[in-house]
Amino acid sequence: MIGRSERMCSAACLELMHAEMVSYFLSARETRESAQKEMERLGFRVGQKLAERYTKDYGRITEPMEVLRFIFSDFWPVVFSKPPDSLTTNNNSLYYIEDTDFRWTSKISVTSRTTLEDASYFLTFPCGIVKGAFAALDVDADVKADFQETPSRCLFTIIFKGKAIPTR
């Protein structure tokens, strides 16, 4: 498993820091769109660096399908603390990764004051991370995420651009 020998710190630190980052961008930027764009860009850079580090002893992954498999089974469990639940597709360019207990958002409580829409800003940075990881492995993909009723159930949609995934 990648990153196993690395040193660890508490997940609470990362969760709280991420929450501070989200509130920093939402208050420092004039529009929510620009806040989201920048958080995604930051996540992208982090994801790129992580994927580069994690694949350095891995041999070269070239096939988009291998990259997807790498992200699903190796990258995700390390970065998001647990393996995702399922990987599905509806056609050649749309793939779905479902995580029913997504640790980066699972502690958010949705109340009358915090809506699911507010909580969705917490998905922007993680989407950027995944997108950056694909980019580091030469796959141009767009990544979106939505909550499935609660902030702990997340569905990530991977849209491949450019290089199409060959059907097998």
Partner 1 sequence: MANFARSGEMAFLKADKINSEIFSLTYGAMVAQIMKDYEDIEEVNRQLDRMGQNIGSRLIDELFAKTGIPVSSNFMETAEVIAKVGFKMFLGITANVVNPTPQQYSLTFRDNPMVDFVELPDNCANLRYCNLLCGVIRGALEQVQIKVECHFVRDMLRGDETNEIQVRFLEQVRESALDQSFA
Q: Which window, 2-10, 88-96, 148-156, 160-168, contacts partner 1 (CB under 8 A)?
A: 2-10
**What is the C-alpha separation between 75 and 81, in angstroms, rounded?**
10
Residue from 50, 108, 137, 154 in contact with partner 1 (CB under 8 A): 50
Q: What dihedral do alpha carbons 36, 99, 90, 127 form, nearest 10°?
A: 20
157 CB-near residues (< 8 Å, 6+ apart): 94, 95, 96, 143, 144, 145, 146
Asked whether position 37 contacts partner 1 by CB under 8 A, the answer is no
Residue from 21, 26, 110, 119 in contact with partner 1 (CB under 8 A): 21
* Burial grade of 18 (CB within 10 A; 0-12, 13-18, 19 or more): middle
- Residue 72 gets which letter from DSSP? I
Closer Cβ to partner 1, 18 or 163, answer by number: 18
CB of 117 to partner 1, least distance (A): 22
* Burial grade of 126 (CB within 10 A; 0-12, 13-18, 19 or more): buried
Of 81-140, which residues contact partner 1 (CB under 8 A)? 81, 103, 125
Q: Which window, 5-13, 114-122, 142-150, 155-163, contacts partner 1 (CB under 8 A)?
A: 5-13
Asked whether position 42 contacts partner 1 by CB under 8 A, the answer is yes
Closer Cβ to partner 1, 64 or 126, answer by number: 126
CB of 29 to partner 1, least distance (A): 9
Residue from 7, 56, 60, 113 in contact with partner 1 (CB under 8 A): 7
**What is the C-alpha separation between 53 and 148, in angstroms, rounded?**
32
Site residues (vs partner 1, CB under 8 A): 3, 6-14, 16-18, 20-21, 24, 28, 38, 42-43, 45-46, 49-50, 53, 78-79, 81, 103, 125
